[in-house]
Amino acid sequence: MVAMGTASATTPPTSGGTTAGTAAATGDLCADKAKNSSNIKAIEAVDASTVKFTLCGPDVAFPAKVAFSAFQIAPSEYLKSTGGTGDLLEKPVGTGPYVLKAWEKGSQIVLERNDNYWGTKALSKTVVFKWNGESAQRLVELQSGNADGIDNLGTDDFATVEADKNFQVKPRDALNVFYVGFNVDMAPFDKPEVRKAIALTLDRQRLVDNFYPKGSVAATQFLPPGIPGFDKGFTDFTKNVDEAKKLMEQAGLKDGVDVTLSYRDVQRGYLPQPTPIATDIQAQLAEIGIRIKLDVQESGTFLDNANAGKLPFYLLGWGADYPDPTNFFDYHFGAGASPQFGKGFDDLHAKIQEAAQTADPAARAKLYQDVNALLAEHVPMVPVAYGGSAVAYKAAVKGAHASPLSNENLSVMGIDGQDQFVFVQNGEPSGLYCADETDGEALRVCEQIGESLLAYEVGGTKVVPSLAESFESNDALTEWTFHLRKGVKFSDGSDLDATDVVDSFTVQWDAASPLHKGRTGDFTYFSALFGGFLNPPAKS
Amino acid sequence: MSLDPGAETPAEIPHEAVTAAGAPQRSAASGGRGRDIWRSVLRSWSGRLGLVLAVFLVGVAVLAPVIAPYPPTKVLLDSSRNERKLEQPCVHLLGCDSGEVQHVMGLDENGRDEFSRVVYGTRLSLLAGAAAVILSVVVGTILGLISGFYGKWLDNVLMRIMDIILSFPSLLLAILIVTVLGKGLINSILAIAIVGVPTYARVVRAQVLSLKEQDFVTADVALGVPRGRILRHRIFPNTLTPLIVQSTLGFATAVLEIAGLGFLGLGVTPPTAEWGTMIAAARGLIFNSPHLVFFPGAMIFLNVIAFNLLGDALRDALDPRTAGRD
């Protein structure tokens, strides 16, 4: 990826943690992409409780983005004292309903109620996060009474759990998409006929019927329903094997072709059973002579390879971070996207950029219809399914819910007469400084401890006030002002003020900041959501 | 016969010479001795059971295309058939509604006929096990003969290498080798074969060391028979007996280890039917669809039992020192 070391060495370190004043003073930061590749022009503290963001171009989704848990506010002093890494990764300080009590590596994370919380106090005195990668194991934890809630109920366990009076199942809306991806620069997928043939052969309904839990839907386009911009009347491909065979013939592959399909054996909402699904796709595509060899890769290696454009044919998906089409289209098919699908398509780049800067919902919807049509024409991937998933709780749990963004709020849940609430999720977080995490397992824990300027409503996607009581923007949607809530205290006892907000964002924004370290230094979400960094490191 | 339990080392007891057959030339291969062996194997109940099971397994493997109602990778989820994946076993003879399609062992997590997969899995497991054992036996025998017959520094070097291999738990070493060579059936066969070599090399070497000192060999040496000829015509045929016993027992282990590697995801890649991978794929479904874990597991169990019993019976029949102990 990017060479962090060299970047910090060649750029003079900015004084302290606050670069906002400096940044705003250096003139037009929007003109030079080498100086600032992001869409942010300035982040300023107007007064102790007001923060103003100035953007280069309009961004309709700005409030939805700052509500995301990667942009939680940490105390400015704590960021400086930890140097932006180290303790920051394992002992997060936030304003949320819970504070971290202990992280026993490899076994559990224990949170304790924050009695100074500004909002409604949490129901349970302690929350314990545990993890297990096997859905059958999680179910055993629930059935044996060790767990009060478990994430991602197994596809084949729905009937058992729903029939049991001791449990309740909360389905999670399918706010994700699972797709079969191609690198359109690599043979044989450089031939549009082959990609189209695969799209016409896949029986998406059969995959959903057999391998997805209740609440899942066969895909008709890249955007899942529930994200604005989803076009109800549009279906990209209808199964037609005869047509597909003709296309294969046109591509000169009448006798078929041998290909390798890569995937990772990791359960996700969009991919509940990786190997059976891969095996079924293998069986389906054999019908048009595509002979597939399955290649299971380790999760991290797989993602790195996909992002580097090294995989010709792979299974991947995307879950919504915030409910806006930019989160889906820009990240995958925008001009700044990774070479995951090859070098990209210019007409697609242009439409996606135009849509992101259009504020009028009707005009925007029209543009996204064009994007859908272009995707069906170029076929850089075949969307297969919107995967529903579910969280199962004991029947006695009050406030039980499932969030479509997978950020269940445990502070509103509890069992009468029970101090402790145990939640078993799929995996252990890699770190708890969520600015530099992308894994939902880390983000869910962060959600309990920290807070962002705004938040998503409990169990929904609507943006609601959080640390900022209110916000407004100018008509051009380029200046956003947030008014902070008064009297909010961090778990280390310090007060929340505008400097904390400015620093929490600037540490991520300014790649030359000495505090821009994190766990990996990638700050993937900031870059993906706001277009890049200030003082971006030279691309290697 | 009388047996002195204190004298266990082959070098001290020229046991082949004690047998009724006299000069122990190609004894294992000769017709009269062969009949004796079979009779001896069949005399014990464990030998009979082992032989029946082994013949059954080999029969299933050979006749797989005849026995299996479907190809092992055929997905039966077409909309034209009214079938669901993970269907429980349905046998018409046992009272399953005749309106339903018969699946003796049900359908698996991908909607394939479990019975066909188990049957083809038998074929693959036995072939893989046999290939691994044959490889280890060939390499192990050559190393053992060289080591035992020529001795000196060569013996030391070879045996220390074998000791190093033996010092690792066999499955762990096999995992290491597969990780280095890459996943796949051929590589897992190679790994199991490499791990098995030291056992055979040591068995053969011990046999050679004792044979070297026996009269019929020293006589050949005195008559000036070339060493290569002695090795081929006097020593090698007499090492076959313990090798047959060892490789029968080793076959059971090899099949188990192939299944183990498959279970860990290092063996065959989907959709090929293999017992270990089948169990791994269904392990999360053990509460809802126990049949998917039970049948391949039962086959592995049968296989291990069959070849262990057969191996034990063969040892009793072939090795006069332990014969008649029961």
Please say if the pLDDT value at position B21 is more than 60. no
Please report the beta strands in A116-175, taking only residues with DSSP state E, as ranges in sequence order.
Answer: 126-131, 149-150, 167-172
Q: Are B271 and A296 inside 8 Å of each other by CB?
A: no
Residue A84 φ/ψ region, left for φ over 0, alpha for ψ in the -120 to 50 degree band, beta for the rest = left
Residues 6+ apart with CB under 8 A from A421: A123, A124, A126, A127, A128, A148, A149, A397, A410, A413, A414, A415
Out of A157, A279, A296, name the one closest to residue B110 (CB). A279
Are A461 and A341 in a shared domain?
A: no
Please say if the pLDDT value at position B320 is more than 70. no
Nearest to A71 by CA among A535, A529, A533: A529
Contacts of A164 in chain B (CB under 8 A): none
Q: Are the C-beta atoms of B31 and B228 separated by less than 8 Å?
A: no
- Mind giving me the DSSP string for A436-498? G---HHHHHHHHHH---SEEEPTTS--EEESSEEEEEE-TTS-EEEEEEPTT-B-TTSPBP-H
Contacts of A157 in chain B (CB under 8 A): 287-288
Return the structure tokens found at A447: 């959600």
Length of chain A: 540
Q: Smallest CA–CA separation between A279 and chain B, in Å?
A: 6
Band the pLDDT of B80: cuts 50, 70, 90: low
- The residue type at B216: F
Are A250 and A380 in a shared domain?
A: yes
- Average pLDDT of A450-468? 91
The segment with the largest mean pLDDT, out of A33-37, B93-97, B140-144, is: B140-144
pLDDT over 90 percentage in chain A: 49
- Does residue A538 fall inside a structural domain? no
- Does residue A375 fall inside a structural domain? yes
3-state SS, one letter per residue, for A250-316: HCCCCCCEEEEEEEECCCCCCCCCHHHHHHHHHHHHHHHCEEEEEEEECHHHHHHHHHCCCCCEEEE
Complex ipTM: 0.71
Please say if the pLDDT value at position A253 is more than 50. yes
What pLDDT was estimated at residue B38? 80
Nearest to B37 by CA among B46, B47, B45: B47
Are A169 and A181 in a shared domain?
A: no
- Residue B298, chain A, CB below 8 Å: the answer is no
Out of A275, A280, A293, name the one closest to residue B281 (CB). A275
Are A221 and A313 in a shared domain?
A: yes
| Count of pairs with CB atoms under 8 A, one residue in A, one in B | 50
What is the tally of structural domains in chain A? 3
Q: Smallest CA–CA separation between A360 and chain B, in Å?
A: 44
- Residue A459, chain B, CB below 8 Å: the answer is no
What pLDDT was estimated at residue A466? 93
Are A310 and A430 in a shared domain?
A: no
- Average pLDDT of B278-294? 86
Q: Smallest CA–CA separation between A217 and chain B, in Å?
A: 18
- Mind giving me the DSSP string for A101-115? EEEETTTEEEEEE-T
Least confident of A202-206, B265-269, B305-309: B265-269
- Residue A136, chain B, CB below 8 Å: the answer is yes
Residues 6+ apart with CB under 8 A from A143: none
Are A442 and A495 in a shared domain?
A: no
Burial A205-241 (b: 16+ CB within 10 A, else e): ebbbebbbbebbbbbbbbbbeebebbbeeeebbeeee
B2-17 per-position pLDDT tens digit = 444 444 444 433 444 4
Residue A399 φ/ψ region, left for φ over 0, alpha for ψ in the -120 to 50 degree band, beta for the rest = left
Give the number of other CB atoms < 10 A from CB of residue A518. Answer: 23
- Residue B270, chain A, CB below 8 Å: the answer is yes
Please say if the pLDDT value at position A19 is more than 60. no
3-state helix, strand, coil in chain A (%, to 5): 35, 20, 45
| Domain end (from A371, A386, A401) | A386
Contacts of A160 in chain B (CB under 8 A): 287-288
**Residue written as token pair 């090859």:** A342
- Average pLDDT of B132-145? 94
Please say if the pLDDT value at position A8 is more than 70. no
Return the structure tokens found at B43: 């005399």
Please name the residues between 233 and 262 in chain B that touch chain A, using a CB distance below 8 Å: none
Q: Is B80 exposed, middle or buried (0-12, 13-18, 19+ CB in 10 A)?
A: exposed
Are A417 and A289 in a shared domain?
A: no
The residue with greater pLDDT, A358 or A482, is A482
- Does residue A91 fall inside a structural domain? no
What pLDDT was estimated at residue B287? 80
- Average pLDDT of A113-137? 90
Least confident of A391-400, B76-85, B238-247: B76-85
Contacts of A276 in chain B (CB under 8 A): 109-110, 281
- Residue B151, chain A, CB below 8 Å: the answer is no
What pLDDT was estimated at residue A285? 92
- Average pLDDT of B166-189? 90
CA distance linking residue A446 with residue A443, whole number of Å:
5
- Does residue A480 fall inside a structural domain? yes
Q: Are B281 and A276 inside 8 Å of each other by CB?
A: yes
- Does residue A11 fall inside a structural domain? no
Residues 6+ apart with CB under 8 A from A191: A251, A253
Residue in chain B nearest A134 by alpha carbon: B284
- The pair phi, psi for residue A4, each rounded to 5°, is -65, -45
- Average pLDDT of A507-521? 89
Burial A320-348 (b: 16+ CB within 10 A, else e): bbbbbbbbbbbbbbbeebeebbbebbeeb
Are A231 and A314 in a shared domain?
A: yes
- Does residue A249 fall inside a structural domain? yes
Out of A160, A206, A294, name the one closest to residue B288 (CB). A160
Q: Are the C-beta atoms of A124 and A413 separated by less than 8 Å?
A: yes
Q: Are the C-beta atoms of A429 and A437 separated by less than 8 Å?
A: yes
Q: Are the C-beta atoms of A401 and A459 separated by less than 8 Å?
A: yes
Nearest to A87 by CA among A497, A440, A521, A431: A431
Nearest to A440 by CA among A270, A278, A277: A270
- Residue A280, chain B, CB below 8 Å: the answer is yes
- Residue A301, chain B, CB below 8 Å: the answer is no
- Does residue A535 fall inside a structural domain? no
User: Do the strands A313-319 and A463-465 form a parallel or antiparallel pair, or are they unpaired?
Assistant: unpaired
What pLDDT was estimated at residue A386? 93
Length of chain B: 326
What pLDDT was estimated at residue B19? 40
Q: Are A136 and B265 inside 8 Å of each other by CB?
A: no
Contacts of B281 in chain A (CB under 8 A): 275-276
- Average pLDDT of B113-137? 93
Q: What is the CATH number of the domain that holds A209?
A: 3.10.105.10
Q: Smallest CA–CA separation between B109 and chain A, in Å?
A: 7
- Average pLDDT of A372-384? 93
Q: Smallest CA–CA separation between A276 and chain B, in Å?
A: 6
Nearest to A415 by CA among A439, A431, A399, A428: A399
Are A102 and A241 in a shared domain?
A: no
pTM, two decimals, is 0.75
What pLDDT was estimated at residue B79? 61
Q: Smallest CA–CA separation between A337 and chain B, in Å?
A: 32
CA distance linking residue B283 with residue B289, whole number of Å:
9
Least confident of A137-151, B91-105, B155-169, B234-248: B91-105
Nearest to A52 by CA among A87, A26, A20, A19: A20
CA distance linking residue B106 with residue A324, whole number of Å:
45
Q: Are the C-beta atoms of A500 and A468 separated by less than 8 Å?
A: no
- The residue type at A290: I
- Average pLDDT of A465-494? 92
- Does residue A430 fall inside a structural domain? yes
Indicate the average pLDDT of chain A: 87
Are A433 and A286 in a shared domain?
A: no
A339-376 per-position pLDDT tens digit = 889 888 989 888 988 888 887 888 888 999 999 999 99
- Residue B182, chain A, CB below 8 Å: the answer is no
Contacts of A210 in chain B (CB under 8 A): 77, 84-85, 111
Are A198 and A327 in a shared domain?
A: yes
Nearest to A38 by CA among A13, A18, A59: A59
CA distance linking residue B28 with residue B17, whole number of Å:
14
Angle at B165 between CA B259 and CA A296, to 5 degrees: 40
B191-220 per-position pLDDT tens digit = 999 999 999 999 999 999 998 888 988 899
Q: Are the C-beta atoms of A292 and A259 separated by less than 8 Å?
A: yes
Please say if the pLDDT value at position B116 is more than 50. yes
Return the structure tokens found at A464: 């609601």
Q: Are A136 and B283 inside 8 Å of each other by CB?
A: yes
Nearest to B303 by CA among B245, B257, B244, B243: B257
Indicate the average pLDDT of chain B: 83
Please say if the pLDDT value at position A520 is more than 60. yes
CA distance linking residue B230 with residue B219, whole number of Å:
10
Residue in chain A nearest B84 by alpha carbon: A210
Q: Are B284 and A210 inside 8 Å of each other by CB?
A: no
- Residue A294, chain B, CB below 8 Å: the answer is yes
Please say if the pLDDT value at position A81 is more than 70. yes
Out of A156, A278, A283, name the one closest to residue B75 (CB). A283
User: Do the strands A126-131 and A420-425 form a parallel or antiparallel pair, or are they unpaired?
Assistant: parallel
Interface test with chain B among A261, A275, A294, by most B beta carbons within 10 Å:
A275
Residue in chain A nearest B269 by alpha carbon: A294
Are A110 and A152 in a shared domain?
A: yes
- Residue A278, chain B, CB below 8 Å: the answer is yes
What pLDDT was estimated at residue B321? 65
| Domain end (from A386, A414, A431) | A386
Interface test with chain A among B70, B74, B75, by most A beta carbons within 10 Å:
B75
- Residue B281, chain A, CB below 8 Å: the answer is yes
Look up residue B75 and give its DSSP letter.
-
CA distance linking residue A278 with residue A294, whole number of Å:
7
3-class secondary structure, A511: coil
Q: Are A283 and B265 inside 8 Å of each other by CB?
A: no
Domain hosting A54: range is 19-83+452-530
- The pair phi, psi for residue A175, each rounded to 5°, is -105, 45
Q: What is the CATH number of the domain that holds A394?
A: 3.40.190.10
Band the pLDDT of B32: cuts 50, 70, 90: low
Out of B85, B111, B287, name the one closest to residue A136 (CB). B287
Give the number of other CB atoms < 10 A from CB of residue B153. Answer: 8
Band the pLDDT of B305: cuts 50, 70, 90: very high
Please say if the pLDDT value at position A227 is more than 90. no
Euclidean distance between the first and the last CA atom of chain A, given in angstroms as a whole number: 7
pLDDT over 70 percentage in chain A: 94
Contacts of A265 in chain B (CB under 8 A): 265
- The residue type at A289: G
- Average pLDDT of B155-172? 92
- Residue B179, chain A, CB below 8 Å: the answer is no
CA distance linking residue A313 with residue A290, whole number of Å:
12
